[in-house]
Amino acid sequence: MKKTLLIISAAFFVSLGANSQVTNVGFENWTSAGAYDEPDGWATYNFLADFGLPALVSKDASAHSGNFSAKIETAEVDVFGSVDTLGGLLMLGTVDVMGVPYTARPTAMEFYYKYSTPGADFGQVIVLLTKWDDQNSTQASIGGGIMEINAATNFTLGTVDIEYDSPEAPDSIQIFFSSSMADAPIPGTVLNVDDISFVTQSTAVASLASQKPMVYPNPAKDFMYVKTAGMKITEIEITDLSGRLVEKVALSGANTQISTSQLNNGNYFYELKNGQESVSRGQFHVAH
């Protein structure tokens, strides 16, 4: 049965949309399809309910925030008299479009989940970042990540770290949540997913930058400031371009003002130190 559905998946998910984005990340918006509801912006196999199979993805009032989460279940199904166990699958996109346009390079995807199983089952989330390759007429891999989901009674933060195998920016993202990945899926297994978000490189860079000491403004006029960013820095040494020490100032506090009015116009080097240890070096310009 699993292989059959994978074949169905390949038939339906063959192209990438041109105008979609990652939306409904809190699973608050659902559209009724008669016998079942579909999460807006996401795809499921619920359409098989039209052929007598159970809808395995539904909106659930148990949520990390807001009114709903996406509930993904594993259940026994009867297909033409053959009983099999099928894990639920939730995919970003629509029934005829796999993934959505996306050009960022996140370092991770975060989400909240609950997971229960009556046996030794486990769920899984996969994130794929791709870019269309004209030469080979296919979506080339830019990066991705995978996380195994195990039992969690309460909503728990999950993090999918994303590793890159190309320096290029992607043009699309695909996300897959599965309630069962064990060799023998267990009926009654339930995965709830809510509040998806991304940690982007710009966020990570900004976070790192905020942890580095700063000497500003540059150029300086009559004053400049040394921001230690929580690091242990006791003094700043200023030298001219010949290497001659022209100023040595003890620092106190997280942001120390230093007079530059006595310095001639021109370029200078600075070194931030903790005792005899060098912490940071740089260059600045004085323009009165």
Going by pLDDT thresholds of 50, 70 and 90, the confidence category of residue 14 is very low
Mean pLDDT on 250-266: 88
More confident residue, 96 or 223: 223
Q: Which domains does the chain have, with CATH numbers?
A: 2-205 (2.60.120.890), 211-286 (2.60.40.3080)
Judge contact between 114 and 127, C-beta under 8 A: no
pLDDT attached to residue 208 = 45
Three-state SS letters, 42-62: EEECHHHHHHCCCCCEEEECC
More confident residue, 18 or 142: 142
Question: Does residue 77 have a pLDDT over 70?
Answer: yes
Q: What is the pLDDT of residues 46-64, one digit of tens each?
A: 998 888 889 999 999 999 9
More confident residue, 110 or 77: 110
286: helix, coil or strand? strand
Which uninterrupted H or E stretch holds 125? strand 123-133
Q: What is the pLDDT of residues 188-211, one digit of tens each?
A: 999 999 999 998 765 555 444 445
Least confident of 28-37, 87-96, 201-210, 264-273: 201-210
Mean pLDDT on 113-135: 92
pLDDT attached to residue 108 = 93
Going by pLDDT thresholds of 50, 70 and 90, the confidence category of residue 133 is confident
pTM over 0.75: no
Question: Does residue 24 have a pLDDT over 50?
Answer: yes
Going by pLDDT thresholds of 50, 70 and 90, the confidence category of residue 282 is confident
Question: Does residue 283 have a pLDDT over 90?
Answer: no
Least confident of 27-36, 67-76, 269-278, 279-288: 279-288
Alpha-carbon distance of 258 to 236, in angstroms, equals 10
Question: Does residue 18 have a pLDDT over 60?
Answer: no
Name every residue whose Cβ is closer than 8 Å to that of residue 105 and which is 6 or more positions away in sequence. Answer: 129, 142, 143, 164, 169, 170, 200, 201
Among 19, 100, 62, 287, CA closest to 191 = 62
Alpha-carbon distance of 6 to 31, in angstroms, equals 25
Task: Share the mean pLDDT of the chain.
Answer: 84
